[in-house]
């Protein structure tokens, strides 16, 4: 229902001025409780006190902290790795833009912020060519979640993907990161299914880590938000 604004339903002309207000108007605006010649209430008669230090409005950072406490907002640093052509950058921009984009091999890195379910994911997508992989370790520090993307149609390199995955998670800088595997390109013929990916990546041998395999298709977006939901549910700040 729309607000009436407080004025509808009242008939007749303007209200009569109260005597005190009329007298003040006749005196040239110097009414009771106002400073001479200004029309303003004096501080003593208005009952207000001088503002104290620190009583001003919250700055942006302070407001962000307050809202975070109220609504449970949190941030998570995500490192997205995998062999070249696995679909990492396509996944990143499908999540960021909501559409499939044409990509070229990532030589350095891409970083974007994706907000989902009151969680701000700061996602670092690093190129996967074999010459770049030694640089991956420079991105490990502070990582809270690892997304490892696998091209499920690339059976020839699945063992190479397994070796790289275990090299990553065995690094001490990554010991606290939870692990999400995107079993990507499920739309392609002969793509390996999640249970097969789990076996070929040797995930069952990982006893002390929290991991999950999520089937996905980067171009359509299938499975991507389910993966973020798992990260949200299993991340402990």
Active site residue ranges: 129
- 9 assigned ligand-binding residue: no
Inter-helix orientation angle 224-234/88-97, to 10°? 90
Q: Which two tokens stand for residue 177?
A: 């990161």
Please indicate if the annotation marks 184 as binding a ligand.
yes
Q: Is 221 within any annotated ligand binding site?
A: no
Q: Is 120 annotated as a binding residue?
A: no
Listing DSSP states for 9-45 in one string gives: T--SSPPPPPHHHHHHHHTTS--TTB-TTT--B-HHH
**84 labelled as ligand-binding?**
yes
Cα–Cα distances (Å) from 61 to 6, 58, 65, 118, in that order, read 37, 8, 6, 17
Query: Is 90 annotated among the ligand-binding residues?
Result: no
* 176 marked as part of a ligand binding site: no
Q: Is 82 within any annotated ligand binding site?
A: yes
User: Residue 64: which residues within 8 A CB-CB, separation 6 or more?
Assistant: none
Is 219 known as a binding-site position? no
The token duo for 88 is: 């990492």
Tell me whether residue 34 is annotated as binding.
Answer: no
3-state secondary structure (DSSP) of residue 142: coil
Rounded CA-CA distance 119/101 in Å is 24
Asked whether residue 89 is marked as a ligand-binding residue, the answer is yes
Which residues are bridge partners to 48 per DSSP? none
Backbone region of residue 180 per phi and psi (left: phi > 0; alpha: psi in -120 to 50; beta: other values): beta
65 is in an annotated binding site: no
Q: Annotated binding site for Mg(2+), which residues?
A: 89, 106
Q: Annotated binding site, which residues?
A: 82-89, 106, 128, 184-187
Q: Annotated binding site for GTP, which residues?
A: 82-89, 128, 184-187
């Amino acid at each position: 229902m729309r607000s009436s604004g407080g004025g509808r339903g009242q008939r007749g002309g303007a209200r009569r001025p109260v005597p005190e207000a009329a007298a003040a108007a006749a005196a040239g605006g110097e009414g009771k409780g106002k400073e001479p010649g200004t029309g303003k209430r004096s501080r003593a008669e208005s009952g207000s006190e001088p503002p104290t230090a620190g009583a001003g409005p919250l700055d942006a950072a302070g407001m962000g902290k307050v809202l975070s406490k109220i609504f449970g907002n949190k941030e998570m640093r995500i490192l997205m790795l995998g062999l070249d052509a696995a679909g990492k950058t396509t996944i990143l921009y499908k999540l960021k833009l909501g559409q499939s984009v044409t990509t070229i091999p990532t030589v350095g890195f891409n970083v974007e912020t994706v907000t989902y379910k009151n969680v701000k994911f700061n996602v670092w997508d690093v190129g996967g060519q074999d010459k770049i992989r030694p640089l991956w370790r420079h991105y490990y520090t502070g990582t809270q979640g690892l997304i490892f993307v696998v091209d499920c149609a690339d059976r020839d390199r699945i063992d190479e993907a397994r070796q790289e995955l275990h090299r990553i998670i065995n690094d001490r800088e990554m010991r606290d990161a939870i692990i999400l595997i995107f079993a990507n390109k499920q739309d392609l013929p002969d793509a390996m299914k999640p249970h097969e990916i789990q076996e070929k990546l040797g995930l069952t041998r990982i006893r002390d880590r929290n991991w999950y395999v999520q089937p996905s298709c980067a171009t359509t977006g299938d499975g991507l938000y389910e993966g973020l939901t798992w990260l949200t549910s299993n991340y402990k700040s």
